[in-house]
Amino acid sequence: MFVQTLIDYAGAILPWLVLGSFIAYAVERRFSEEGIRKYLGVMTFKKLLFVQALGMVSPLSIMSQLPVAGSLVRLGAHPALLLSFFIAERAYDFQSFPIITGLFGLQFAVINALAIFISLSIAAFATHHVPITVKKRSSSDGGNFWIRQGRIAGIVLFGIILGAALRTFTPEDAFREIAGTPLGGTATAVLVGFVLYFGTILGNYPVAKAFADLGMHQAGVFAFMTVSPVFNLVVMFLFASAVPFRYSAKQFTFYAFVALIFTALFFLLV
């Protein structure tokens, strides 16, 4: 059962990961970092929405971009816009929509994308007036696109293996008793999502699939897919390396609150 589950999960995710990597490579070659900076100079509501959307489909990586955040600010990027762009990069990925559609269906994927976009935008707008400073650090990433993609692929493979293991070896009855209700599923998803970290959001998806197959309530699966991408302890400390922790924690908490509201709406509507 483990091998078959591993094959099923890999077949649903890896083809989109490979296709997305090649498309992302073409996008990164066409749109340079300098080209992105010009959109991050002045804070406006329209630009804030644009930045969220841009971050959600960006082929860049916060792992390589956060260390040079201070340099981008000195070149004219607005700190709050820049941080919002990086958070959106963490919350969603270029390959997310087709992978989620394949795993959970089109309706789930559309509502999930909208919930993340609106939660990001509300959280960013609610905290955009807070003074923020970006720490100066040197980049530790060589900037090689395919090296970054290789790391992402490794993390995704780990997530697939972990997801298959969870699906195979977790006692279904015990898990369903805890996470089978809307409240229990949501609480389990938020707690697990807060401590579980893969480095790329794509690693969360096979784990979410395992939760669904084990009997987690759909509201819990939605919460794991919507809340945990940002409301995560490791992610908070990752951003604390570039900006004051109190600022990132405030924005992430706003995000989690709005995302939980969308989880409740998802439960009521679907």
Phi, psi of 21 (to 5 degrees): -65, -45
What residues make up the domain containing 181?
2-269
Lowest-confidence region among 47-56, 231-240, 253-262: 231-240
Distance between CA 127 and CA 130 in Å, rounded?
6
Domains in the chain, number: 1
Q: pLDDT for 228-237, tens place per residue?
A: 888 887 777 7
Q: Is the pTM of this model over 0.85?
A: no
Give the dihedral of Cα atoms 207, 209, 214, 218; nearest 10 deg. Answer: 110
Distance between CA 218 and CA 227 in Å, rounded?
14
Q: pLDDT for 165-195, tens place per residue?
A: 777 777 878 888 999 999 999 999 998 888 7
